[in-house]
Amino acid sequence: MLKGYYAILDVKEASIDVATLERRAKLLLAGLPCCLQLRAKHLPASGMVACAELLQPMCTAAGVWFCVNDRLDVSLAAKTDMVHLGQGDIPLRHALAIRGDSPRPFIGISTHTVEEAEQAAREGADCLGFGPVFSTQTKLDAGAPLGIALLAEVSRKVSLPVVAIGGITLDNLDHVVRAGANAAAVIAAVEQSPNPAATGRKIGEAFTASRPGRI
């Protein structure tokens, strides 16, 4: 399920033009991601719901999971496949209680240490985001890079899908794959590529062509 290229549609504006959003989403979906995540730190809840209600059907038609970042309420309102929560968002135990017996939304948790990863796994997360693996300028408050060795340790110690994030490029992607990550969340290397769709496909292909090795 979550394996390969994990696309992130990073909306920096406080409002969004629907045509622009749709165009950007189509470009990312052309890269054949396993998931498309809406990251919109400056949009109000109403704007996020409107975006989610547009993007979820597009992703469903493409056979790709759709995820919203940070906002469980938006995920529930728009009936998205997945929500990804940071350490400062609603605690996992409360998110699980609100979700109840429903299998959706799938809940991912951002982690930055082995301890956070193990705790999220114990408490019932469905998948983990781990990073930043490398130095990144996309998220300026991401902190110091954690490195491949720590990513490999997390991948060994938890049985959940691990999505690596932070500074991942085609040049260092092989290290991420060999560390045992299930997917790589990539923003800058795709957006800055002369052919974003081809770059997305190459990221996905790296996970199907390679097997994890020792780090």
Three-class SS of residue 88?
coil
Are β-strands 183-186 and 82-85 bridged in parallel, bridged antiparallel, or unpaired?
unpaired
Task: Give the C-alpha separation, 177 to 168, whole Å.
Answer: 11
User: CA 48 to CA 39: how far, in whole Å?
Assistant: 9
Q: Note if 139 is an active site residue.
A: yes
The type of residue at 83 is: V
110 is catalytic: yes
Q: For residues 114 and 158, what is the distance between their CA atoms, to the nearest angstrom? A: 9
Give residues with Cβ within 8 angstroms of 40, minimum separation 6: 10, 11, 16, 47, 48, 51, 69
Choose, from 110, 155, 178, 202, the residue flagged as catalytic. Answer: 110
69: number of Cβ within 10 Å: 25
Q: How far apart are CA 6 and CA 77, in angstroms?
A: 23
39 flagged as catalytic = yes
Candidate list 3, 24, 139, 201, residue with the active-site label: 139
> Distance between CA atoms of 1 and 128, rounded to whole angstroms?
13
Q: H or E segment at 66?
A: strand 65-69
Catalytic residues: 39, 110, 139
